[in-house]
Amino acid sequence: MLSPGEMGKKLTEAGRLKLRPLCVYDTDEIPEGAVPSYTVDRCIAKAAYISAFFEETPSLYIETGHEQCCAGGLVWMGLAEPHPKLKYFVTVGTPDFHGGAAEHLKATPELFDELRERAGKIVPQGKYTVIAPCTADLMPETVRSFIVFAGAEQIRNLCGLAQFSNSDPFFKTVISGGPTCVTMIAFPAGMSENAPKDSAYVGPVDPTGNPWLPPELMIMGIPSGLAQQMGADLEESFICKRSRIAYPENRIAINKPTVKNMRE
């Protein structure tokens, strides 16, 4: 198995990443030098993005009782029970909760309940969920998943690499529903009982992160086992064997066709 440091280098090479990849793991002790994620930002997903962007950011950890975190984020990390009115806030609103404010992320409160039921119970594997830089200080088997921030072409190539050694055309890479933190952490890290264990998660589809996530970036959460396979496949894949196709130096110009050409 590749060490987390080696795996980070492989992902960086494969995706030509400009932001550092991160890894997710669980522990029962606070890692040395780590800080609560809310000290970087209240939003767990945004704190992870800041960590990828600013390399001096230390490891981040999340635990039960971090009330300074986004309440919804704690729910989707398996660290809190949802407020009974939350299903209204994220859908159509209700006058007796947050003044009737609504995010309109689902059509009805019932659909939100069904979404959570289909995702299954979310259970962290340790007291602390840690988002850390990919360093060689961690044992490979400790890491549960990796987080990558990348542009559209980079994500397309990483998805192709994830599918390289598998014949399944549908489920090796998934665009899942749910908030940004569940896409990057809970689903790929295997915390959700019904989430596919060997699929890479691409997104997010949650628009509430759009004010801070640049429009050209997407996020990919990759289970550790799949990331190891991607690392092993890299040299034989199109990314290395046909690098000028994967990352073209020269682009083909698309010209507007004339009416005469279209008729012919």
The ranges assigned to domains in the chain are: 4-67+74-78+122-246, 82-116
In this prediction, residues 166-189 reach a mean pLDDT of 94
Whether 54 shows a pLDDT value over 90: the answer reads yes
- Integer Cα distance of 230 and 227 in angstroms: 5
- Integer Cα distance of 137 and 147 in angstroms: 18
Tell which residue, 203, 207, 206, 230, has the closest CA to residue 217. 203
Question: Model confidence over 211-260: pLDDT tens digits?
Answer: 999 999 999 999 999 999 999 999 999 999 999 999 999 989 888 887 66
In this prediction, residues 171-192 reach a mean pLDDT of 95
Which one-letter amino acid corresponds to residue 60?
Answer: L
pLDDT at 67: 85
On average, the pLDDT of the chain sits at 93
Percent pLDDT > 70 in the chain is: 97
Between 217 and 83, where is the model more confident? 217
pLDDT at 263: 62
Kindly state the DSSP code that residue 192 receives in the 8-state scheme. B
Q: What is the pTM of this model?
A: 0.93
Residue 19, CA distances (Å) to 22, 48, 54, 59, 125 in order: 9, 11, 8, 15, 27
Is the peptide bond preceding residue 204 cis, with omega within 30 degrees of 0?
Answer: yes
SS3 148: strand
In this prediction, residues 72-97 reach a mean pLDDT of 91
The mean-pLDDT minimum among 68-72, 140-144, 190-194, 254-258 falls in: 254-258
Per-residue pLDDT band at 65 (split at 50, 70, 90): confident
